[in-house]
Structure 1
Amino acid sequence: MSMPAERTPVTVLTGYLGSGKTTLLNRILTEKHGKKYAVIVNEFGEVGIDNDLIVDADEEVFEMNNGCICCTVRGDLIRIIEGLMRRRDRFDAILVETTGLADPAPVAQTFFVDEDVRTKTRLDAIITVVDAKHLLGELDKAHEAQEQLAFADIVLLNKTDLVSAEEQKQVEERIRRINPTAAIHGTERCGIDLEKILERNAFDLDRILEVEPDFLDVFHEHEHDDHVTSFSLVTKDPLDSQKFMPWIGMITQHFGMDILRMKGILAFKEDNDRFVVQAVHMLLEGDHQRPWKEDEERVSRLVFIGRNLRKDIIEDGFLACRA
């Protein structure tokens, strides 16, 4: 029996205008990293990919001189991915750039929802590029800037050369308030070892929990006026899966458009395995992870990141799921 082919990792790249996304994209397309990427961009003209890099261009697919392939999302994403998958031997990973889109979720969701796409690809990470100098002003004015941070698995805090160490610290604290679980990397001109951001499997909660078991614990809640906020729910009492599953389904349906990301580890009564859940909007997935260790405290934790979420209602429901 043939083994299923390795699924191609997909990185979704987002970021506010002027944050340095294009710089990062051009870096990926020109560096001698020995990898080949298929890059899907929204509109080729807007992206500002250096024309000198393009070797061969037909309408939708462009070949770059370092062997990467680019295509534009004029067509629908699923169709493009299916087309790319027919030439899978030509690249190692896929990068999707969501130009100027407020919300990278529909792109991310494609890799969850479409069965065919799912068997061939896996969402590796959502990366948000932000401008260290202008981020705080943007967050106060533009809801999109907050929402892009909410979805991130990895944040590239770019242009750190333009701010003082103290200012950088303030910006990082503000990012943490919106998204307590993303990895943050400070950069100048998006100069970062690409291995730190590509093919990290950062979307996969299981993998992160293996590396950092207390990944969801780092949490300080404070009152603030951001439109996107985060909070965590914790209980040491075992949960009843018969109560929890219908409840979380109802919550994601009801608040789905406002739940931007949700991640959690759960301890169910009469279950020796940790159960891991995560959601992007209404798309929810959950699975058993590894067994709880002998010395491990069986604590259930859910982290919600979203727009104006009613913590009181959600917390009451969560606590009602205790066994």
Structure 2
Amino acid sequence: MIPAFIITGYLGSGKTTLLLNAAREHFSEKRVAVIVNELGEVGVDGKILKNAYSEVLELPEGCICCTIHAEFEKAIRELREKYEPELLMVETSGSAEPFPVMISLQNLGCIIEGVICLIDTKNFHLYSQEDTAKHQIGSSNVLVLNKTDLVDESTLKQVEDSVVDIWNRYLLRNLFTNEPVFRSFKLYKTSFGKLPAEVFSGVFALQEKLYHLNGETHSHNHAQQVIYLDEPVDYNELLDIINKLPPDVIRLKGILKLKDFPEALVVNYSFGNLDTSYTLPHYEGKSFLVLIRSFN
């Protein structure tokens, strides 16, 4: 299982700058691979990011969800086999929607940590009516109002209200149940694509906790809280735990043994999205949940 982030946003919103800053500030000692999907014959973003990340693969012009779907899945497999990354970042083109990428990543054994949508606050009025931009916002659970240094407070408030309204109206839903894919979102206001550590703080929580359970030492993040469960729970009890989480909990990861189910369940809750699609058939340790709290 590889944790993954999808970086989306309209043309010129600051996706590549965000990736550069994240590499410098949050992933300097991690094996992070990046897949870049660009439009045009010359891939500029990929060349820039190769100076910051250990492994960068550029996909040719075309949409990941259709014309180059096979190339995307091949790239993921190649990265896993040759590089064994600890984290995967996928930067979609400015004209793409993130949902098909989410499906492909999940089918290939990746856990979606978050879908981050960059919004250009200075130029949002120029593209806010574009369907692609609306679906990018509605398909994300981390909304980033970028370039806030270029607008006044009144404009920033207008953009924020508009983005929240679009998220509510274009919220991604399950086609069969009509239930929202994301229950909530986290909104950040920033410049130069800089995000706080809390956005990425839960990425390695499960791996670190497993090391701890195996007797190895590691440093604890002061924003983490660990809950141990002595007895197996049923799935409805898990949902009840999720529904009753305090508002400052933005991530929850762990391993649970369920009643009447032979395999331990990997639990991954990120910014309103619950993923329980992976199991650990041979896990013999304790059931536990790691809560990641906001630094705000």
TM-score class, shorter: 0.5 to 0.7
Q: Does 1:84 align with 2:79?
A: yes
- SS of the residue aligned with 1:155? strand
- Equivalent of residue 155 in structure 2, options 129, 142, 167: 167
Q: 2:36·2:45 contact (CA, 8 Å) conserved in 1? A: no
Q: 1:11·1:198 contact (CA, 8 Å) conserved in 2? A: no
Residue equivalent to 1:98: 92
Determine the C-alpha separation between the residues in 2 that align with 1:102 and 1:67: 23
* CA deviation vs aligned residue, 1:200-244 (integer Å, no higher than 9, x gap): 47xxx96974644699xxxxxxxxxxxxxxxxxxxxxxxxxxxxx
Gaps (5+ residues) in structure 2? 61-69, 169-183, 204-237, 250-268, 278-296
Q: 1:47 to 1:185 in 2, by over 3 A?
A: farther
Residue equivalent to 1:69: 55
Q: 1:40·1:95 contact (CA, 8 Å) conserved in 2? A: yes
- Equivalent of residue 45 in structure 2, options 25, 44, 48: 48
Shift of 1:45: 3.3
Q: 2:11·2:95 contact (CA, 8 Å) conserved in 1? A: no
Residue 126 of structure 1 aligns with an amino acid whose one-letter code is V
Q: 1:29·1:68 contact (CA, 8 Å) conserved in 2? A: no
- Equivalent of residue 137 in structure 1, options 122, 126, 138: 126
Q: 2:4·2:113 contact (CA, 8 Å) conserved in 1? A: yes
Shift of 1:30: 4.2
Q: Does 1:33 align with 2:19?
A: no
- Equivalent of residue 192 in structure 1, options 180, 190, 195: 195
Determine the C-alpha separation between the residues in 2 that align with 1:107 and 1:16: 16
Residue 18 of structure 1 aligns with an amino acid whose one-letter code is G
Q: 1:22·1:47 contact (CA, 8 Å) conserved in 2? A: no
Residue equivalent to 2:113: 124
- SS of the residue aligned with 2:43? helix
Determine the C-alpha separation between the residues in 2 that align with 1:199 and 1:106: 25
* CA deviation vs aligned residue, 1:143-188 (integer Å, no higher than 9, x gap): 2111110111101110001111122112111111122432110011
Q: 2:4·2:89 contact (CA, 8 Å) conserved in 1? A: yes
Shift of 1:198: 3.0
Residue equivalent to 1:183: 186
Determine the C-alpha separation between the residues in 2 that align with 1:196 and 1:165: 24
Q: 1:124 to 1:210 in 2, by over 3 A?
A: farther
* CA deviation vs aligned residue, 1:68-112 (integer Å, no higher than 9, x gap): 2101234622111111111354x3200001112331111111123
Counterparts of 1:1-323 in structure 2, within 5 Å, are 7-31=1-25, 33-43=28-38, 45-49=42-46, 51=48, 54=50, 64=51, 68-74=54-60, 76-89=71-84, 91-112=85-106, 114=107, 117-118=108-109, 121-140=110-129, 142-180=130-168, 181-193=184-196, 195-198=197-200, 200=202, 209=243, 211-212=245-246
Determine the C-alpha separation between the residues in 2 that align with 1:8 and 1:106: 18
Q: 2:148·2:189 contact (CA, 8 Å) conserved in 1? A: yes
Q: 1:11·1:94 contact (CA, 8 Å) conserved in 2? A: yes
Q: 1:187 to 1:209 in 2, by over 3 A?
A: farther
Shift of 1:36: 2.6
Determine the C-alpha separation between the residues in 1 that align with 2:276 and 2:87: 25
Indicate the percent of aligned positions where both proteins have the same amino acid: 29
Determine the C-alpha separation between the residues in 2 that align with 1:94 and 1:83: 12
Number of residues of Structure 1 aligned to a counterpart in Structure 2: 193
Q: 1:149·1:179 contact (CA, 8 Å) conserved in 2? A: yes
Residue equivalent to 2:227: none
Q: 1:102·1:147 contact (CA, 8 Å) conserved in 2? A: no
Q: 1:286 to 1:24 in 2, by over 3 A?
A: closer
The CA RMSD measured in Å over matched residues stands at 3.3
Q: 2:46·2:57 contact (CA, 8 Å) conserved in 1? A: no
Q: 1:13·1:95 contact (CA, 8 Å) conserved in 2? A: yes
* Rg larger in structure: 1
- SS of the residue aligned with 1:157? strand
Q: 1:186 to 1:67 in 2, by over 3 A?
A: closer
Q: 1:22 to 1:107 in 2, by over 3 A?
A: same
Q: 1:12·1:96 contact (CA, 8 Å) conserved in 2? A: yes
* CA deviation vs aligned residue, 1:22-75 (integer Å, no higher than 9, x gap): 211222344463223100001493343555x64xxxxxxxxx4x5521012346
Determine the C-alpha separation between the residues in 2 that align with 1:111 and 1:10: 8
- SS of the residue aligned with 1:94? strand
Residue equivalent to 2:266: none
Residue 84 of structure 1 aligns with an amino acid whose one-letter code is L
Residue 185 of structure 2 aligns with an amino acid whose one-letter code is A
